Amino acid sequence: MLDYVSLEDDLTEEEQMIRDTARQFVEENVKPDIGDHFEEGTFPTELIPEMGELGFYAPNLEGYGSPNVSETAYGLLMQELEACDSGLRSMASVQGALVMYPIHAFGSDEQKDEWLPDLGMGEAVGCFGLTEPQHGSNPSGMETRAEAADGGYVLNGSKTWITNSPIADVAVVWARDKTSDGNPVRGFLVETERDGVTTNKITEKLSLRASITGEIGLNDAFVPEENVLPGVSGMKGPLSCLTQARFGIAWGAVGAARDCFETARDYATERDQFGGPIARFQMQQQKLAEMATQITTSQLLAHRLAELKERGDLRPQHVSMAKRNNVRMARDQSRVAREILGGNGITTDYSPMRHMANMETVYTYEGTHDIHTLILGEDLTGIAAYE
Ligand code: FAD
């Protein structure tokens, strides 16, 4: 596997073990069928508990059965999962960074006891409801509202593009609390079986097909007071979750690009045209050289991010730079890999075009490329240019 400047020489034993466990799991259990899942628009849901047993959901958290592994180990895990498919990494990202993380960081002891062990083991599935039909890049404009009622809150509104909502047991729903001064955004743990909650599936996707995406409809859905995340108020709640998930994406995208590179290199050395392998042509070598260089520089950025996170110096803007760069890189390079595979490259028999299609989602979700550009622009100049 491409590791051109030997970054993996510095991994600890635990990090190597987590990387190898994920690699083996993917090779044996997911890769053989992932093309079929992509074509059919399905996710291998039977693997959700197995992924839990292997510790794939938020292993970087502390307590409640989480082993508290290093941030590099967590990143490597995301890299190996996304080297298979972005849908697989999305499953782990949502469950770990977007559902377990906020419960861990902002939940009550009762909420942690109730949800973290089950979510960690993949015995329960969670989803994260922030995006709305009219509020994507600007989630602070959200219209979903919570009104105080006897013993709890009544929720109304709709969320869309929610990974795993149709198969989720619980949704972390972000809504404006209409009863508090200033209507702050609060997080609500909404069991999807509650009256007034619907989770329709979105079926028309041409990207991230091996992942289940849906809506969350909230129509006078009551949740008791104890389902409110007590430890956070305001946009800091959802945004801090996104920083966790984007960190994993910055790593994961490198995995997708690496898989494209490996597939293209193998193909180029095996495919003969004009009396020999196409890898002997300078044009193909130029593509492989550029791909390897782009992947290597993205790997360096991901590894540095983990070091900064480990010592508490990681800023959300650092994560924006890495998510923005590494996903763009994977989006561009998956296309180059597809080219090298010629006609075969457009089939699900090979991974590059599947990765290429997936990257359209990854480029867009968790803050679009443009939004991360604006975050960096503001950080570098002190001038916000969102509006
Ligand atoms: P818009 O915000 O309407 O943006 C449209 C275009 O305008 C983009 O190119 C954008 O960059 C650009 N734009 C917007 N504002 C500006 C600006 N100020 N300056 C310049 N350009 C701008 N959300 C969740 O909450 N939970 C999930 O689990 C989840 N999973 C997803 C899974 C999939 C498969 C997809 C496709 C999306 C998912 N999302 C999820 C939603 C995702 O986060 C949003 O799609 C994303 O935030 C962009 O919002 P939007 O699609 O409404 O695009």
Substitution candidate for ligand 1 out of 161, 209, 241, 331 with most atoms within 8 A of CB: 161
Q: What's residue 320's pLDDT? A: 98
Tokens read off for 113 = 């006891």
Q: Which residues pair with 197 in a beta bridge?
A: 218
Q: What's residue 212's pLDDT? A: 98
Q: Ligand 1 centre and the CA of 19: distance in Å? A: 31
Cα Dmax for the chain = 79
**Cβ atoms of residues 125 and 198 within 8 Å:** no
Q: Is the pTM of this model over 0.75?
A: yes
Q: What's residue 32's pLDDT? A: 97
Mean pLDDT by 10 residues, the chain (387 residues): 97 98 98 98 98 97 94 98 98 98 98 98 98 98 97 98 98 97 97 98 98 98 98 97 97 98 98 98 98 98 98 98 98 98 98 98 98 98 97
* Number of Cβ atoms within 10 Å of the Cβ of 152: 16
Q: Ligand 1 centre and the CA of 40: distance in Å? A: 24
Q: What's residue 127's pLDDT? A: 98
Q: What's residue 211's pLDDT? A: 98
User: Would you list the DSSP string of 105-132?
Assistant: HH--HHHHHHHHHHHHTTSS-EEEE--B
Task: Quote the CA–CA distance of 338 and 351 in Å, as a whole number.
Answer: 9
Domains of the chain in start order, with CATH, are 7-120 (1.10.540.10), 126-227 (2.40.110.10), 236-381 (1.20.140.10)
Q: Which atom of ligand 1 is nearest to the CA of 205?
A: 34
Task: Quote the CA–CA distance of 177 and 108 in Å, as a whole number.
Answer: 18
Q: Ligand 1 centre and the CA of 250: distance in Å? A: 17
Q: What's residue 206's pLDDT? A: 98
Q: Which atom of ligand 1 is nearest to the CA of 366?
A: 43
Q: Which residues pair with 157 in a beta bridge?
A: 218
Q: Buried (b) or exposed (e) across 85-102, using 16+ Cβ within 10 A? A: bbbbbbbbbbbbbbbbbb
Closest residue by Cα to atom 22, ligand 1, is 370
Q: What's residue 207's pLDDT? A: 98
Closest residue by Cα to atom 12, ligand 1, is 370
Q: Ligand 1 centre and the CA of 219: distance in Å? A: 24
Contacts for 171 with CB less than 8 Å, ≥ 6 apart? 126, 127, 128, 129, 159, 162, 165, 189, 190, 192, 197, 199, 216
- Answer yes or no: 366 catalytic: yes
List residues near ligand 1 (CB under 6 A). 94, 128-131, 136-137, 161-163, 208, 213, 361, 364-366, 368, 370-371, 374, 386
Q: Ligand 1 centre and the CA of 366: distance in Å? A: 7
Task: Quote the CA–CA distance of 108 and 39 in Å, as a whole number.
Answer: 41
Residue in 225, 366, 378, 387 annotated catalytic = 366
Task: Quote the CA–CA distance of 254 and 329 in Å, as a whole number.
Answer: 8
Task: Quote the CA–CA distance of 8 and 386 in Å, as a whole number.
Answer: 39
